[in-house]
Chain A
């Protein structure tokens, strides 16, 4: 009895494409689910930007269709639903499925040399549970009083019946709970698979950093998503069963609204690292792959990511500095938060050292990876203003925060997702994407991102609060209209440039050039399989003998005439010893 037996692939359409237990198919399902909601969330962002450019003006072209009752104008009520759902959809229904659902599923088994996940059925259930949560989100738009409107953080009492009566908010809170369950199912699988299904010789310190990032993310998901689950559960009880966990004040409750914020951010801060750790892993690998140079201080990167994983659990208080927190507690959280910059700096230095003295190729995955370094540099550095209490007194809840987390969570995560998509596309679909369109997509995105989120930071620095329907009501913000308008146009351009990706993606799937087995000349395990891989991935489970970043070893170049080495290749003993020593 083999631990990972080879099964015959399913033949009927239903078992092959709908209820498949193949991690590669589930990954593609997640890609489609994520990209569709990414488009949806992106359009909501466009609506927000329209409102900030032309407050209260009729939305051109689609306004009358979408908002018939107000004559095509976004009303304050609609506006709050739009920004609420933009945040929720992007975080839980776009980045999470793309980054974790798709690439977690695709990369983990292939990169560690497994035939599938440890629990394939659980994996399929995870996806379909996720679809249920997406349907709940869609349904919430159709009910009376509209969808959720309490902000993505759903702070009570605003998110209870006191502030947002109606079915929409309830459905959305339930969707968060359900998507949390889907995430837990997926993450239990990832954690177990990495521990148990690594191919012989694939030690932890030989795993690609992508797998490290995804694995640490899965661990954080396993531990902290249930906390969000509890918060969503209690909030649902408050909304539907008349409990009073979070309702207080003159509305007649004896509960405690701050309690929800604790639960939310105990989850919420790990969540930002949940979204960024896979990106860090992917970037660390890409920079090495395309600089054709071993990843600089591999173990340092691993330790840094582990340190961030641990620290992420103990810094959540910095989201609550101005809620009336105990001063000593606040200062403790401030110190812990600032300490996170140490592992982040280690990581950045490793990235910069990796490309230094490399032989840098700049295909689209590498461009996107470098783009991540750029935007995460901007986003990460501006984070220290918000982790410090006194500067946060001024900057808290301003657009500065919005710009900061868009650079880190949105820009960095999505650029890393695109990097991964362009990189593994040949493996996934067996075809090649158009490289020119990919580069156009990159340059459009990186410039657009810098302008849009940079513009947000500047207005936030000038004091503009987030989530304002019409910021120019305030005298101290009235002069920001011009800048906001310019930022909006940059945002529209950023939205439009994504069409290049859509065209390229669909066209390449349908009629892209057939891909080779290993088009990028990379040594990790997935490139030893066919493009696309067979149902069971590996005919024989590979035996790993070295780390994932063996590039430009002069001995190898002399012997084999190429600058890369697979993780499984056996070489004459002399060279082998050199490599061991280097490791």
Chain B
């Protein structure tokens, strides 16, 4: 019995240690190529999500560790043969008050923190489209997703979509740094999800609907665009590149691309005119 007991204690310790290790590994800051953790944050507001995740992860780890210690202590202290069990139905008023009160406390601290911060973040940042639209230099892009690629359309100098000066790209989205980028998403066939891990956002592209999202990049560089919603056989290949450029580089690229677009523009090629009037001004 005792040998069995020791093995079991060792095993449970192993399980607990594994979980704790995994938790701390996940929590660690990302070390490119080797580390596991949140990918590089290259956006203005991504730190809000990172902060909320990490703080909540802290709470969660604390609660989980308390739970494990409680269980382990109970099993060790109160195992069979040590003493008789306490005959306690746990329904005395003070016991109920304790259980209900502690539950409420955890709720108000952990969930309350989540609720308050998420609400603030959504209203001031992630879902604050009027703020982004109000910025004069905001860049507007229409994304038409289809199996298995992202078509992007810029309004060009006139700011209107489906006109001669539009810039149209495939799986290649270029944006200026430190500028609000507003995207409108549509889908031609099935549901896709436009996912920018380094900007900490994603949004579904639904057929028959136009969805929107916005972000502001803070670091020049190339980042992955990924599809997060299963969209068929080659879902895993539905990959694009988001290039964050300096404002000057972007202006230069946009002007050239618009001129190129105008050169190959053809009125008859209706398939190429998939853009729509910007919905939200």
Contact = CB atoms under 8 A, between A and B. Distances in A.
Whether chain A touches chain B in the assembled complex (some CB pair under 8 Å)? yes
Interface of A: 76-77, 80, 149-151, 155, 157-158, 162-164, 247-251, 253, 255-258, 291-300, 322-324, 327, 330-331, 334-335, 338-339, 341-343, 345-346, 348-350, 352-362, 367, 370, 373-374, 377-378, 381-382, 384-385, 387-391, 393-398, 439, 443, 446-447, 450-451, 454-455, 457-459, 461-463, 465-471, 473-476, 479-480, 483, 549, 551-554, 557, 563, 582-583
Contacts of B80: 292, 359-362
Nearest to A254: B208
Contacts of A292: 80, 85
B78 A384 contact: no
B107 interface: yes
Contacts, number: 347
A479 B212 CA distance: 31
Contacts of A583: 89
A474 B241 CA distance: 10
A384 B111 contact: yes
B115 to A, nearest CB: 6
Contact of B230 (A80, A322, A483): A80
Given A248-B207, A324-B211, A341 B190 contact: no
Interface SS of A by simple majority: helix
Pairs A-B, 8 closest by C-beta atoms: A249-B207, A248-B208, A296-B90, A345-B103, A324-B211, A552-B85, A397-B228, A359-B85
B39 A476 contact: yes
Contact of A458 (B22, B127, B147, B193): B22
Nearest to A393: B201
Interface string B1-29: 00010001001001100110010011000
Contacts of A471: 236
B14 A447 contact: yes
B99 interface: yes
A352 B74 CA distance: 8
Nearest to A296: B90
Nearest to B241: A475
30 contacts: A76-B233, A76-B234, A162-B190, A250-B188, A250-B207, A253-B207, A253-B208, A294-B89, A300-B91, A323-B204, A324-B206, A345-B107, A346-B99, A353-B90, A357-B88, A358-B74, A359-B82, A360-B79, A370-B71, A373-B71, A374-B68, A385-B56, A390-B121, A394-B53, A446-B15, A447-B11, A454-B19, A458-B25, A462-B39, A476-B223
Interface in B94-112: 95-96, 99-100, 102-104, 106-107, 110-111
Interface residues of B, number: 107
B91 A458 contact: no
Nearest to A462: B36
B257 interface: no
Contacts of A396: 193, 202, 228
Interface in B199-248: 200-204, 206-209, 211-212, 223-224, 226-237, 239
Nearest to A382: B60
A547 to B, nearest CB: 8
Given A250-B188, A374-B68, A388 B115 contact: yes
B118 A388 contact: yes
